[in-house]
Amino acid sequence: MANSTTATRSRSATKSNMETQILGRSRGWLERAADFIQRGEVVAFHTETVYGLGANAFSDEAVLKIFTLKGRPADNPLIVHVHRDYDISRLIDSEPPYAAALREKFLPGPLTMVYPSAGKVSKYVSCGMNTLAIRVPSSPVAQEFLRAVDLPIAAPSANLSKHVSPVTARHVYDDFNGKIPLILDGGACTGGIESTVLDCTGEVPRILREGLVTREMIAAVAGDCEVYHPKKGEKPKSPGMAYKHYSPRCETAYVSSAEEAIEVYDREKERGGTPCILCESGQISLLGDRNSLDLGGIGEQMAQRLYALLRKAEGTSSLLIGIEPKGKDGVMAGVLNRLRRAFGKES
Ligand code: AMP
Ligand code: MG
């Protein structure tokens, strides 16, 4: 999965004087990463969902660097990442009976579990809340990195705030060239959308952010699973969900049929623009020879392709037109959530 070359790209015209290295699996790469982390630096690393921007969760200074680098709002908490043998009882206060079964079934994997915090990590990780979100990623690169540092690593997605999440090392480089010392390259992320965030502080597990581990999968293990939707005007339980997210840097339009997409596309073309249509595979043949990006046919495929396609479109199109896919269940719940946010249809 990880490439074996060591790529050092010179920095482009940024004010920073830091050289950003992209390191694939190679001699000494983990020691290098661990050294940066121990010195309070921020290191980006591959996970199976999206790339993360990691720092020592015990260090106030290191954690605050993440917020500054991303331009992340100060009330949007971070997920702590640990290796599979890390004893999380060191970080949490208590856990409900269903949590062990969920961990056994889904970890390592794309499931973040929110527990009552023991208050051991920097207070900036949870932005003053009394809970802590913990994730055990399955990516071998992430596991090796976390083992090498043997520390909880606070890590949000490695993109500038509001921008599309990164699913390749190059995406991270595009947002943070000259700003961070190192990106641990594990190739393209196979999951493609961020982890499911699950509130494990109540009697019944409750999904705060939908992802690849679905409500149906959790309910099959825990007996039940709720999905949290904040009421109008209420501060959401997962504060990050209140913010604009995943937005490509081009104009966007979101429609529900190929006919509507064609109308918008042709109007943009007449104006001299370079439109493009993003849709599920089944719609492509209805679009004639218009420029299109194929999201795929099933939820897992759409999750895997979505962010790379959004980043591609922002570099080549004046207007990206999204057609809402038809499916709603399973992984599609997470895909639809990201799509609607990317197209500004849900805040
Ligand atoms: P990102 O790092 O971009 O995947 O964002 C992390 C997500 O996890 C955000 O939506 C946060 O609101 C959520 N999160 C992190 N910590 C907590 C927590 N203690 N309680 C609830 N949600 C959390
Ligand atoms: Mg993010």
Q: Which residue has the CA at smallest separation from atom 20 of ligand 1?
A: 238
- Give the number of the atom of ligand 1 that is nearest the alpha carbon of residue 112: 8
Residues 176 and 292 in one domain: no
Question: Is residue 52 in a domain?
Answer: yes
Judge whether 52 and 146 are in contact, CB under 8 Å. Answer: no
Question: Is residue 239 in a domain?
Answer: no
With 80 as the cut, is the pLDDT of residue 322 above it? yes
- Domain with residue 63: its CATH number is 3.90.870.10
Note down the domain range covering 97. 5-227
Residues 148 and 208 in one domain: yes
Average pLDDT of every residue of the chain: 93
Which ligand is nearest the CA of 246, by number?
Answer: 2
Give the Cα separation of 205 and 30 in Å (integer). 35
How many other C-beta atoms can be found within 10 angstroms of the C-beta atom of residue 347?
10
Residues 49 and 143 in one domain: yes
**Type of residue at 94:** S
With 90 as the cut, is the pLDDT of residue 202 above it? yes
Question: Is residue 318 in a domain?
Answer: yes
- Supply the DSSP string of 294-333, one letter for each residue: E--SSHHHHHHHHHHHHHHHHHH-SEEEEEPPS--STHHH
How far the first Cα of the chain sits from its last, in Å, is 35
- Domain with residue 294: its CATH number is 3.40.50.11030
Residues 127 and 210 in one domain: yes
Question: Is residue 307 in a domain?
Answer: yes
Average pLDDT over residues 276-302: 97
Residues 80 and 181 in one domain: yes
At 242 the pLDDT is 62
Residues 205 and 298 in one domain: no
What is the percent of the chain where pLDDT is above 90?
Answer: 87
Residues 306 and 201 in one domain: no
Question: Is residue 112 in a domain?
Answer: yes
Question: Is residue 128 in a domain?
Answer: yes
In a 3-state reduction of DSSP, which class is residue 79?
strand
Residues 220 and 98 in one domain: yes
Of 45, 92, 153, 208, which is best to mutate to test ligand 1, by the most ligand atoms within 8 angstroms of its C-beta? 208
Residues 218 and 72 in one domain: yes
With 90 as the cut, is the pLDDT of residue 230 above it? no
- Residue 333 main-chain phi, psi, to 5 deg: -60, -45
Q: How far is the CA of 76 from the centre of ligand 1 (A)?
A: 7
Residues 113 and 256 in one domain: no
Global pTM value: 0.93
Residues 263 and 319 in one domain: yes
Q: How far is the CA of 170 from the centre of ligand 1 (A)?
A: 24
Of 72, 113, 238, 246, which is best to mutate to test ligand 1, by the most ligand atoms within 8 angstroms of its C-beta? 238
In short, whether 111's Cβ falls inside 6 Å of ligand 1 is no
Q: Which residue has the CA at smallest separation from atom 7 of ligand 1?
A: 240
Judge whether 70 and 172 are in contact, CB under 8 Å. Answer: no
Residues 147 and 258 in one domain: no
- Give the number of the atom of ligand 1 that is nearest the alpha carbon of residue 125: 16
Give the Cα separation of 197 and 213 in Å (integer). 9
Average pLDDT over residues 125-141: 97
Question: What is the number of domains present in the chain?
Answer: 2
Q: Over the stretch 231-255, which tens digit does the pLDDT of each residue have?
A: 777 777 776 666 667 889 999 999 9
Question: Is residue 54 in a domain?
Answer: yes
In short, whether 194's Cβ falls inside 6 Å of ligand 1 is yes
In short, whether 325's Cβ falls inside 6 Å of ligand 1 is no
pLDDT-based confidence at residue 12 (cuts at 50, 70, 90): very low
* Window from 42-51, 77-86, 236-245 with minimum mean pLDDT: 236-245
Contacts of 265 (CB under 8 A, 6+ apart): 275, 277, 287, 290, 319, 321
